Amino acid sequence: MSKHIINTDQAPAAIGPYSQAVRAGNTVYFSGQIPLDPATGALIEGDVEAQARQVFENLAAVALAAEGSLAQIVRVGIFVTDLGNFATVNKVMSEYFEAPYPARSTIEVSALPKGAQVEVEATMVLA
């Protein structure tokens, strides 16, 4: 099986030796997205709600570049630096996804790249 690298300037460029996403067959594996502005590569200003919204916008851009959409995402992994922000991240996620929702895990971590408060990775299956 061949793999196809997904890359778009509508989402932040990778800040390390990885791709925004990789397609293998009909499955697309997204790298974790943190709340970086795609135009500047800088962490956006704002609270965890603003950061979560930027993360999901970035994921949507990568999904589109892979010829898919958030509706085709089957699994989401969320990392937060404060599990007290769980309800806020849930609220934002509900603005981007509809039932039936993807499978998901949420994990509190001690730190994220560039001081982000939230990071999200995903898996998408294309028809």
Instruction: Find the mean pLDDT for residues 66-84.
Output: 98
Is the pLDDT at 1 greater than 90? The verdict is no
Strand residues in the chain grouped as ranges (E):
3-6, 21-24, 27-33, 73-80, 103-108, 118-125
pLDDT tens sequence across 10-37: 999 998 999 999 999 999 999 999 999 9
> Which pTM does this prediction carry?
0.95
All domains of the chain in start order, with CATH? 3-125 (3.30.1330.40)
pLDDT category, 2, cuts 50, 70, 90?
confident
Instruction: Find the mean pLDDT for residues 96-104.
Output: 97
